[in-house]
Structures are given as structure tokens and as C-alpha cells.
Structure 1
């Protein structure tokens, strides 16, 4: 099992002019337009048999003895440990499938690589990676660029455990997925507090309660300046709580800044009312999320906003051991996905990996990374007793100090559509930052 740093891999990708075969990858054909297409998978030692993606037994046979190359975010020890010591041995034992892990510093680098390969003229089967991690915001950059293989979701047997018409399966950031991505995990964005300093009864559960808390405790609340990733999440969670969880979802793709400003007027008024009671009277904001976490850890602010399962950041020593998260009435969930690029050299291996990621036990295994299983997307009535027990054990081991999976699923709301985010973040700068009513 090989690991590459971002520098090493981009250097390898830069050698594309030498041809894909010179990089040690051997092509396979694919055709996403037809469900009866035959394709070929590859192994470094010999050519693999052709297979029909709709015949899962033939997919498994074609993947056997090959290597699947995955490209993903590799900057956390939990992720690296999971892929190297849990996932890789699992697919080797279950499918005789070897695993190569290409680590990047930023998930945007994944889309950049595939776009570069597309521009370089690589064809089907001539790429350097078989599957990769794509978070919702980057799907908008890839869906119309021709870099995705196509509708492979229809071929994955483990899709039987999931609802077909929910965000995270049917859509990502308001955009239809059309079967081109499969679930990696879900991130539930919640407010986080230190139970050693604040009684649970005093913790705000909605925007109005947060305003009341801030007025009673001036300077104890803040959030990073937009467009910081988590600062933006916190601001739009407050807006959605004031204006309704569907306010963004109903916005057309051609909405103007003035139209959005009008529709979010109550939300912006709320944020301006909150400003004077924030840290530094809302005149400045933490610059980054890490700054915010540091302020929380040293007691300078009472709340942060982030992933619901806080055990991983507790164990990392980033926050106090008494840190807990709460589920608001509107809790934004942001699915993360695997996808297959159009030029994957091992389509069979990619399909097997994506299907394995949908396996309930595999979802539970990834609890070690801090991401809960995507129960809001599951059809729990389809799970057997063993699978339900796996979810319970996962929650007990990794979901400490956090809302239950059932509670998170009940309050989960989809994130705002991709096309609204840049406009919203610009409006925050002009309508909220440093301003009062």
C-alpha cells in the first residue's frame, strides 16, 4: 500500500506527457451512458477481464487482484489511520483488492488534478486515480466539466440501505447528483460548548436564545469572519433559524444580490443586532477557525461551531475533555462524497470501493474520523439487527458528549444551494460585518 505526499503526486501527475502507462497505470474503458456497457479493470501484473457494471459478480471478479487508487484529504492522523489500518486491510480481505492512498492538502486539489488531466487530453482509463473525495461545495465545479464518470450509483448493491430522494443521495448543495457521487459520510454542524463552564439548561438551542445569551454575557460569543468555512456555516445557520430552513433552497440560480438581500432582511437585521454583544463588540472577528478553537480552548469565548462528534477533537487535545455539542432546531448537514473520474484506470476497483463505503459497518468504522454514519440518508427499516447493533456500538464509542444519531437525523436540514453561497458571503461583508441596526 503506497502513500504519496501532495508534492510527490503532483510531480507524478506532471509527468502525464510521458503517457499514462509510463506512470504504472493501465487503462480501462467505460461508458456511463449505458447500463449494459462492458468495461475493463486493470492490474499492474496482467490485463483484467471485461465486466458489466450491472452484473456485480463480474465487477467483483474484475476487481480481484487489482489496486484501487484513492485521492483524498490526508492532513489528519485519524483519516490516515483509518485508511491505512482499517479500510485497506478490509478490502484486501473481502475482495483481494489492494489500496493506494494519494494524500492532498486541500480537497480542491482533487478537482484541479482531474481538470488538468481533462485539459491534457487523457481519455477513458488513462488517468492516475480511480476514485476521490469530493465535498459538496466542489461538486458544483465538477458536475458540468466532463470529469465525472457518470451514473454509477445505480450499480452499487449497498444502495438498497439508503433513501433515494434525500439530500446526500439525490442532491448536493441543491444540485442534482444524478448518480455521479456516493456517500462518504455526513458532517452535522452544531454549536459546541464546555459543560464545565455552562450548565446545559443555559445553552442556546436557537438563534433567539443565542441573542439573549449574548446580551446577558457580552463578549462571550463570536464567529470567524466570512468567508471562513466554519464562520460561513455559523452565519447561515443563524440566518436559516431566523428566516426558515428553506429560505435558501427556494432561491433560483439566477438570484441577484439585491433579491437575496431582500429575502434575508430579517436574518441580516438579527446578525446586526447580535454584533454589539459579540467579542470585541463585533468590530472584529476571529480570522480563522483555528483561531476560534484556540479562543474556545483558552476560555475567551463560550461557543464554537463545528462537527457534532466532538470526541475526536477532545482526544486530539484541541478542546477541553468536558466539551459537548448540541443539536439546534435546524442543524445543517453536509454530506461528503466519493466519486469516480471519467479517466479512472480501474473502474471495477472504484465501484467496489464506493460500494464498500456504503456498507453499514464501513460507515460505522469511519466513526473514528469524527464523522457519524449518515443515518439521515438511511432507510433504517432495511437494516437487520446486526447492522442496527453496529450503529449503536459506533455511537457509544465515538458519539460521546454529542447528540444521538436519532436526534441529529430528526433535526438535519440540507445546506444552502451552491449558487447562493458566494452572494451570501459578499452580502455578509456589506450588510453585517462591523454594523449595527
Structure 2
């Protein structure tokens, strides 16, 4: 995957912010609908509940806050969270307490997967709104189908795509010259280098993703994974998963009796030479770390040749948000070429874009400049769809029962 370096001027930001109103793609924006939303948004405060565990992410959100304040007179407050499930619980509690439209504490939430599925199922979301956003017309819905399908749950316009992710591995090529290209090859490597491979403890997101990658690779019927889980389906599709993990466990770090807390810990152990490889869901992470001089330039990234799990992360608006117009304007700004280019730049974040760059107008394409940098994925692999969101909980519970002690 190439690096992306934006060249963004103040004038381009203004053009990007207003482009939707000038060339709308949907019925709502073809009339005065979007202009009315922008007008209603002025002066509103958006409380955006978003993970706050990364300095790069926090800095990017602060930049967004500065832009929407300048362009739209919107105050954006980053409510830093550690687990989106806590936001779901809060909105659910507000609904139970009868706090209706305009009475909520959350205006925008960074979300995907089982948390989105729960909010959609329980009627906790505002919408549909996403496909009516002016900048949505540039989203790559064909090449990146997960922009409209979240863990095999159709988004139905209830959340707006924000960034792409794909299961990726990285290692120092001086220590690991040959990259394993499947979970089976990873098992062979673990057997030959005991104690040098591991993954985060579940339910850490990256640990769960590691197990889901194995599930997808070994499932007898991948189509079954796209449907809501049942006891029978769980038993049938994990017949090879648990034997694989049983075989892998004794060769893991500390013989699989302990697991690191998160992917950052695994990355540091790899950097220190204690482990051979690390895992991420951001294909640009190693390049980011190399650019920040936290990893050597000999680190390489790769994805299994037959594909790895990938998905999209989104922003959604709760049903009872107080600032629905401003939340929509913020979501639209996040889809602007200027905002997407900055987010994709490894100097700022390095989060892959959801936009179809070749379809952008020439001036917007110019914001995305490609080039080869150390640590980038040289040969992107096919993206494998996530299992249906309902598979996460039973997989995590069974893993914990078997290996969590």
C-alpha cells in the first residue's frame, strides 16, 4: 500500500467543505436540504465519543475540531473513551430512562462491528443519513464493499464510513527473512521458533481479530460466517479452529500461559527482539513507527497471500443526539478529500482512505501523493469479509474458557 502525503491549502479546505452543496448527489442535497442542515449546525456543540488511546488519533480529531469551528462555527468536543461498548450501554440506558430526541449525551460515536449491530438492532441510531451526505458520492462502495456492510450487517445509511482497516503483520526482515503466508505457516514458524510468537489476550480487539483470521481460514463454509451465529453453526465452523489453536498454544510466548495486554505491547516486544512479529489492523502502522523512529527501516509489512480480514470503521449518530445537524456536518467533513488525505498521511495518522481516489476531481486527487516508504505493504492481499458481528461474543467466550486461565 502506498504512502499518502497531502498538500492542503486553506482555499482547498474551503472548497472541500462547500463542494457538496455545489454538486450534490442525493435527493436531500439536490434541494435546499443540505444548506438547511449546515445553517442549523452553526453554533451547535458536538460531543464526539471516540477512542482516545492514540496521540496521532487525538491530534487528528483536534485538527478536525479546528476545521469545523472555522468553516461551520461548530464546537467539537472529543469525549475520549476506552471501549465503545460503554457508549452503547449509556445510550441504551438513556432510552430506557425515556430520554428522547434532543436529550442525549452523545452526538457522534466512532463505531463498527458488534457495537453498531447492537445499536442498529435496538433502535439506538439516527438515520438513515450517511448516503445523503454530499461527500458520500466519492466513497468507493464497489472496490470497498465494507463501506456499506459492517461485519456482514448492512449499514443502511445508519453510519458513515471513515477509514479502512485490514489484518496485517510486520516484522524485522533481519530477524525474519521469510514471511509466513497463512495461519498454517505461522504454526510451522512457531514450532521452529518456540516462544517468539504471540497475540494479545482476548477480548482485546487485535487478539480477537487474530482468532477470527484463523476462523476464516479454517472454516469449512465461509458463507456461514456471514450469517448470524447459531450453536450448530458455531460447532460446525470451528471444527478445525480449536485444534489449530491447541497445536499453536504450547509454542507461543510463555507457552501460551500468558498473553500480552494489547497490540502495542506485542509491537514493543517485537521491537525489542523478544518476539519475531507483531500484528495490526492498520496496514500503515509499521511505516508510521519507522517514520517516528520507533522501529528500524528493516521492518516489513505483509498480508497473507490468500487474503486477510478487513473492515471499515464509521461514525454514527445516536437517536437522541442533541446536535444532529452539526453531527452530520462533521461526518460530511470527515469524508472530504482534504480530511481523508490528511488522515491517510503517515505523518498525521496513516489510516487508509474510504474514497475512490481515481474518481476524484483533479484538484482533490492532487491531495493524495503516492510513494514508496519503508514499512508499507508492498503487495496488498485480498480483503476477506469479517464474520457476522454475532460471532464475536461466543468466540471470545469459548477462547477464554479454553485458554484464558
Give the shorter-chain TM-score range. Answer: 0.7 to 0.9
| Aligned equivalent of 1:415 | 386
Larger of the two Rg values belongs to structure: 1
Q: 1:136 to 1:391 in 2, by over 3 A?
A: farther
C-alpha RMSD over aligned residues:
3.1
Among residues 211, 215, 222, which one is paired with 1:235 in the alignment? 211
Matched, 1:220 2:196: yes
Q: Which moved more, 1:330-339 or 1:120-129?
A: 120-129
Among residues 257, 261, 284, which one is paired with 1:309 in the alignment? 284
Q: 1:269 to 1:134 in 2, by over 3 A?
A: same
| Aligned equivalent of 2:156 | 178
Q: Contact 1:191–1:304 (CA<8 Å) still a contact in 2? A: yes
SS of residue in 2 equivalent to 1:182: strand
SS of residue in 2 equivalent to 1:92: helix
Structure 1 residue runs without a partner (length 5+)? 1-34, 38-50
Residue 381 (structure 1) shift: 4.5
Q: Aligned partners of 2:186, 2:180: CA distance in 1, in Å? A: 5
Residue 319 (structure 1) shift: 5.0
Structure 2 residue runs without a partner (length 5+)? 1-25
SS of residue in 1 equivalent to 2:321: coil
Q: Contact 1:245–1:330 (CA<8 Å) still a contact in 2? A: no
Q: Aligned partners of 1:325, 1:173: CA distance in 2, in Å? A: 24
SS of residue in 1 equivalent to 2:98: coil
Q: Aligned partners of 1:388, 1:296: CA distance in 2, in Å? A: 36
Residue 371 (structure 1) shift: 4.6
| Aligned equivalent of 2:7 | none
Q: Contact 2:170–2:299 (CA<8 Å) still a contact in 1? A: yes
Residue 288 (structure 1) shift: 1.6
Aligned length: 372
Among residues 314, 325, 328, which one is paired with 1:348 in the alignment? 325
Residue 264 (structure 1) shift: 2.7
Q: 1:281 to 1:122 in 2, by over 3 A?
A: closer
Q: 1:361 to 1:124 in 2, by over 3 A?
A: same
Among residues 29, 50, 72, which one is paired with 2:50 in the alignment? 72
Residues 260-275 of structure 1 correspond to what in structure 2 (within 5 A)? 260-275=234-249
| Superposed CA offset, 1:311-358 (max 9, x none) | 444567765554332122322223221111112222221111111111
Q: Aligned partners of 2:71, 2:93: CA distance in 1, in Å? A: 34
| Aligned equivalent of 1:101 | 78
Matched, 1:61 2:39: yes
| Aligned equivalent of 1:326 | 302
Q: Aligned partners of 1:126, 1:372: CA distance in 2, in Å? A: 33
| Aligned equivalent of 1:293 | 267
| Superposed CA offset, 1:374-394 (max 9, x none) | 34xx4444223333333335x
| Aligned equivalent of 1:388 | 365
| Aligned equivalent of 1:18 | none
Q: TM-score, normalised by structure 1?
A: 0.75
Residue 366 (structure 1) shift: 1.7
Q: 1:131 to 1:270 in 2, by over 3 A?
A: same
| Superposed CA offset, 1:271-308 (max 9, x none) | 333334333444x2414225433432322210121132
Q: Aligned partners of 1:52, 1:62: CA distance in 2, in Å? A: 17
Q: Which moved more, 1:182-191 or 1:380-389?
A: 380-389
Matched, 1:426 2:397: yes
Q: Aligned partners of 2:237, 2:54: CA distance in 1, in Å? A: 39
SS of residue in 2 equivalent to 1:265: coil
Among residues 350, 353, 375, which one is paired with 1:401 in the alignment? 375
Among residues 101, 107, 114, which one is paired with 1:137 in the alignment? 114
Q: Aligned partners of 2:369, 2:385: CA distance in 1, in Å? A: 24
Q: Contact 2:46–2:323 (CA<8 Å) still a contact in 1? A: yes
Q: TM-score, normalised by structure 2?
A: 0.80
